[in-house]
Structure 1
Amino acid sequence: MSTYWFELQVGPVQNLEEAADRLYSRCGDAMLAGDTRGGIVSFSREARNAIDAVLTAITDTNEAGLQVTGVVEDLVTIDDIAERAGRSSQAVSHWITGKRGPGNFPAPTLNRMWSWAKVAQWLADARLGDVDVIAAETASAVAEADVLLRARRVLQRAPSGQRKALRELIDAVG
């Protein structure tokens, strides 16, 4: 068993104290912060693997009456990548520009922010840097779970006449 650290996004939290009590009565490894616009549940979950950690956290959070809307992707800067890989920021900049390394460094997700899941996979494939295997596994599971939660929201919000076609599309690409 390993410990996985990640955050879930939740919908509006009407009464933070009551919601926190419901959540904590289900699990002692979560911390809730939020308001009527939404919130974040931070977890340090022990599990066999990252997927199990995220899945059981989503289940516990939903069963505590909070609506999970997403999983927070681990986005990193050049300095973060350097620190996590045990390399200099200059080395990371060279990987990004293709001056060093095998090339094809992942594109930024946001302005000068990269998905740690994609970067960690690139580092592992390129055999560069020292990557925390648990953190990389968590980043990958978080990214995958967030995509699935977004797909579920699309299905829930779609007009009833389109849901069957969307499910067939999901099956076709699966």
Structure 2
Amino acid sequence: MENIQAAAIWITGIPASGKTTLSMMLKDYFQKKNMSTIILDGDEIRKTLSKDLGFSPEDRKEHNRRVIEIAKLLVKNGIITIVPLISPYREIRKFARKEIPNFVEVYTKASIEECIKRDPKGLYKKAMAGEIQNMTGLQSPYEEPQNPELVLDTEKHSKEECLEMILSKLKELGYLSN
């Protein structure tokens, strides 16, 4: 039977790069193994704990800070915490790494052109029509991670291959064992 040490799997990337898809696959994998896991979805948290925040750089940092605090508590209580969050600034991801025990940064890399094609939530279409301001990757910058534990090129690899790469990395880092 596989065992996992509680960790925060922080999945960062521009919108439509594959964060949510991989998060759901990871959660399904862990749940099938009867492992305590949760997804801290940035969009869902914005509807509740961060509904007072917009998308300015300051508000994005505060939203991320709130998610970091929740993730820290969950990991300390033995729960595998999957965090699919754009988290566009290196500074905030560095802070997350410092604050959260067993932090694993996964970068879902895809070109802006590919993400515009995917656009499952219609965000790029709205941003290009002027309906959304400060869209990460278009009007607002995304600072690529400098030293993530894993870079997943979601244009070159299938979602199943990406899942296997995450699980392999967790084993390599000692968080997942057989």
Query: Structure 1 length normalisation: TM-score?
Result: 0.30
Larger Rg: 1
As a proportion of its length, which structure holds more helix?
Answer: 1
Query: Structure 2 length normalisation: TM-score?
Result: 0.30
